[in-house]
Amino acid sequence: MKCTQCGNTSFLKDVDFPFDNSEGARFARTYKIYVCDQCGHVEHFYTGPVEANKEIQQLEMEFKNATAVTKSELNKLSRKQSDMNSKAKHAYNKETEKLEALISDESITVALHKKAKDDLAELKNYKFEQKLKMCGLSLVDYPDRRQIASLQSQINRQEKEHQDNISNIKRKYRN
């Protein structure tokens, strides 16, 4: 900064009256007053953008902390869900391949061939719960879809609220 009167660049800072009505105000006005230490000319600077940044950074930190638990819970459930899905799928595919190999094997007995065909037909009708059972898992342990949806909507809500808060700060400090 430069003194508009004499061009000097050294100032006495924040002399007596930094003006700040940001506390609770709808439209905040924050000024810092500098006095030229050579000619005494008073300069004031609008510090709104700096204050807005400070508040936004604080908000970002709070938002991150507030959503951390929900996000990690959601990740845990999603990971468990996809882990159980892929295990069940793998077990099902393996069993299908085994039976198909048996069926195409010409050296087995007719009875065995028929049994393999019946088993395969039955396998194709397996519900998800039965596929889980094939690899020693139970539907009881499968993450609840409603719980996942509720966590997701909770995060969405927090996200929206956070964006609103940021817009409010920007509006409040708009010059």
- Between the alpha carbon of residue 13 and those of residues 8, 10, 53, 121, the distances in Å are 14, 9, 21, 85
C-beta closer to Zn ion: residue 37 or 161: 37
C-beta closer to Zn ion: residue 10 or 57: 10
By C-alpha distance, which of 100, 174, 84, 169 is closest to 135? 84
* Stretch of residues binding Zn ion (CB under 5 A), selected from 41-49, 57-65, 142-150, 167-175: 41-49
Beta-bridge partners for 42? 35
- Between the alpha carbon of residue 122 and those of residues 22, 76, 127, 171, the distances in Å are 71, 33, 10, 64
Q: Cα–Cα distance between 174 and 170 in angstroms, integer? A: 6
* 39 is an interface residue for Zn ion by CB under 5 A: yes
Smallest distance from Zn ion to CB 10, Å: 9
Counted residue by residue, the chain has a size of 175
Report the site for Zn ion in 129-168 (rule: CB under 5 A): none
Give the CA dihedral 98, 100, 103, 108, nearest 10 degrees: -20
C-beta closer to Zn ion: residue 14 or 129: 14
Smallest distance from Zn ion to CB 74, Å: 59
Which of 41, 71, 98, 133 forms a contact with Zn ion (CB under 5 A)? 41
- DSSP-derived letter for residue 107 is T
* 12 is an interface residue for Zn ion by CB under 5 A: no
Smallest distance from Zn ion to CB 3, Å: 3
C-beta closer to Zn ion: residue 10 or 75: 10
**Contacting residues toward Zn ion, per CB under 5 A:** 3, 5-6, 8, 36, 38-39, 41
